[in-house]
Structure 1
Amino acid sequence: MTTPSATRAISGGTTTKAVLFHELGGPEVLRVEDVPLVGPGPGEVAVRVEAVGLNRAEALFRSGTYYYQPTLPGSRLGYEAAGVVEAVGEGVSAFAPGDAVMAAANFDFGVHGVYGERVVLPQESVVRGPDGADAVTAAAMWLTYSTAYGGMVETGGLAPGDHVVITSASSGVGTAAIQTALRVGAVPIAVTRGEAKRAGLLDLGAEHVITTDSQDLVKEVKRITGGQGARLAFDAVGGPRFAALGDALTPGGTTVIYGTLDRRPAQLSLNWPLTVHAYSNGALSRQEGFRRRAGAFIGSGLASGALKPVIAETFDGLERITDAHRLMESNSHLGKIVVRV
């Protein structure tokens, strides 16, 4: 058995690079700085980061509009990363140096943010990387696909033959949701604002695409489903338009809201009976059983080719993090933005 002092050892100097911000604002507030290099304590895992995946929540957090606030100055940032275990702390038996892993995105990223060369995470915030996946692929997998699987399948009960309405369908979670729906035999109806992304969503496998700038969502869903309505809606937006998703469902349908891109109060449909779930992937990912089930779903889906992350663009180096955030805020991309470290 290794001793605690041996498990804590990390080579490579006394500092490492990390992305910090000291004030709220746009992408320009992000800074790459030297931070102390520390080893893992009891129950912790030290990871050498190879790639990070960007998520909309990080832009909200950086600007002060997320559901919790950063502690300034010197807040960290980042939910999703892929890398290799460098060392483990006392009491960690599930991971060993050399293991390929992903961050489970179930932590306060102001404290454990993974935008950096090396990070130390609680062992319950680490999951094994999919067999054979490169770092860019792995960095784009966990949060998007576990959210789609956990939100639509485990929470929403999505089943073969169900129609599911997926908003923000061009996002990382949206594209993962389309593939997840297809994998379980459901019918994905992708929702986006304009025509620019229609072809890409259809190529990805969306059975139908609704553009809300020019089409009435409720009428289109009813037309697609022969007047019955969809069984499930999977929503990242909320706000006043949330009611229309309920209107587009069959009576007794379910809406799962996992994001609040529209910060205005969400309005509920009067198409009752209706089940509404406010979904937290971070909370569910704190459960070991869910991490195991989601990991199996993701790993087998990647191996079979049913799941394949859509990478919008890959940036090389932490110094490109500002450019990556600017692209994310432009809303012009389709899929996941990844930064190689």
Structure 2
Amino acid sequence: MRAVVIEGAGGPEVLTVREVPAPVPAAGEVLVDVVAAGLNRADVQQRRGLYPPPAGASDVPGLEVSGHVADPGDSGFAVGDAVVALLAGGGYAEQVAVPAGQVVPAPSGVGLVEAAALPETAATVWSNLVLQAGLAAGDHVLIHGASGGIGLMAIQVGLALGAVPHVTAGSTAKLDVARSLGVDSLINYRDQDFVAEVVAATDGHGADVILDVVGAAYLARNIEALATGGRLVVIGLQGGARAELDLAALMGKRASVAGTTLRSRPVTEKTAIMRAVQENVWPLVASGAVRPFVDRTFPLAEVADAHTYFDSGEHTGKILLTLA
């Protein structure tokens, strides 16, 4: 089968498509013929040599796919079923073997190619905003990086739950996408202080929940922006991994900070998350309250071009690789 191989740490040029042995599903796994694969920042970090796959995972990048079941094993699926899957690796390929619990039926309301944009974003958002931070109706939620796949999913899920989103992005055009979803509190981080903007927009209350992809560079300001009893969830380290934490400020607000990853979680946890996504997010997709935002698609052979485009930062929403 064809799959993407990383020749060595570096830029997009290290990505090549080669013939490799097809995966053989183990007990408890489902073999999927891939239709499309989502491109995520974790893939870029793996390409750069900064984020190796977990032990036992495929060296082929790719953390989410859509496709058809080729071998269901004892999963209860049937050959040909349209599915999406959350992976620890292996998605940039014609076939992938996935633990059955991480495979769910593709949601109705979107095409199967578009559906590849959903597993990682939906699992990340639901597990962090809802299961971790307990986002509820009426909460003010600050979403950093609002124009990315996770940010746009977080906005839609937050609105569907009755929360009030406040979002940051680096350009008017990217903020306009959030505006089109019904967000009123729009913050351009290049020329606005997100702490002051959120505090003003909430009449001094602050953010009950913050979903952060930046990390160290925003830690102190995120704590400042939190409401009393607020919850900060850090899911990315684009702004570094080390920073000082003012424990007095944290304690004074009776606030909490959590850091999470998804890729390295055990299969049992990923299974529970994907079941929660199927139960809670897929109905929102079917109703149109949540939809995938796909910026561009690239055929697998143009994977280097897809990564070059991702690295440019010009995209809004997801970039997909297609294998039709």
Q: TM-score, normalised by structure 2?
A: 0.92
Secondary structure in structure 2 of the residue aligned to 1:144: helix
Which among 201, 223, 239 is matched to residue 216 of structure 2? 239
Which residue number corresponds to residue 293 of structure 2?
A: 310
Which among 239, 245, 263 is matched to residue 268 of structure 1? 245
**Matched AA of 1:244:** R
Secondary structure in structure 1 of the residue aligned to 2:216: coil
Question: Residues 41 and 254 of structure 1: is their aligned pair in 2 closer, same or farther, counting only changes over 3 Å?
Answer: closer
Report if aligned partners of 1:162, 1:232 keep a CA contact under 8 Å in 2.
Answer: yes
Which residue number corresponds to residue 9 of structure 1?
A: none
Which residue number corresponds to residue 46 of structure 2?
A: 61
**Matched AA of 2:80:** G
Report if aligned partners of 1:178, 1:205 keep a CA contact under 8 Å in 2.
Answer: no
Alignment of 1:149-228 (within 5 A): 149-228=126-205
Equivalent-residue separation in structure 1 for 2:302 and 2:37 (angstroms): 12
Are residue 83 (structure 1) and residue 67 (structure 2) matched?
A: yes
Equivalent-residue separation in structure 2 for 1:258 and 1:64 (angstroms): 19
Report if aligned partners of 1:192, 1:211 keep a CA contact under 8 Å in 2.
Answer: yes
Q: Kindly name which structure, 1 or 2, has the bigger radius of gyration based on alpha carbons.
A: 1
**Matched AA of 1:28:** E
For residues 58-84 of structure 1, give each alpha carbon's deviation from its aligned partner in whole angstroms, at most 9, with x where no partner exists: 001110122x4689xx93111011000
Which among 269, 272, 282 is matched to residue 289 of structure 1? 272
Equivalent-residue separation in structure 2 for 1:225 and 1:203 (angstroms): 21
Equivalent-residue separation in structure 1 for 2:161 and 2:54 (angstroms): 38
**Matched AA of 2:273:** F
Question: Residues 70 and 149 of structure 1: is their aligned pair in 2 closer, same or farther, counting only changes over 3 Å?
Answer: closer
Question: Residues 32 and 295 of structure 1: is their aligned pair in 2 closer, same or farther, counting only changes over 3 Å?
Answer: same
Aligned length: 315
Report if aligned partners of 2:222, 2:232 keep a CA contact under 8 Å in 1.
Answer: yes
Report if aligned partners of 2:92, 2:321 keep a CA contact under 8 Å in 1.
Answer: no
Which residue number corresponds to residue 2 of structure 2?
A: 17
For residues 186-225 of structure 1, give each alpha carbon's deviation from its aligned partner in whole angstroms, at most 9, with x where no partner exists: 0111111333422222113323111111111111111000
Secondary structure in structure 2 of the residue aligned to 1:302: helix
Q: Which runs of 5+ in 1 are unaligned?
A: 1-15
Equivalent-residue separation in structure 1 for 2:267 and 2:257 (angstroms): 20
Equivalent-residue separation in structure 2 for 1:321 and 1:172 (angstroms): 18
Q: TM-score, normalised by structure 1?
A: 0.87
Identity of aligned residues (%): 38
Which residue number corresponds to residue 334 of structure 1?
A: 316
Which residue number corresponds to residue 10 of structure 1?
A: none
Which residue number corresponds to residue 281 of structure 2?
A: 298
Off by >3 Å, runs of 4+ in structure 1: 68-71
Q: Which runs of 5+ in 2 are unaligned?
A: none
Q: CA deviation at 1:301?
A: 0.6
Report if aligned partners of 2:109, 2:288 keep a CA contact under 8 Å in 1.
Answer: no
Report if aligned partners of 1:62, 1:70 keep a CA contact under 8 Å in 2.
Answer: no
Report if aligned partners of 1:104, 1:285 keep a CA contact under 8 Å in 2.
Answer: no
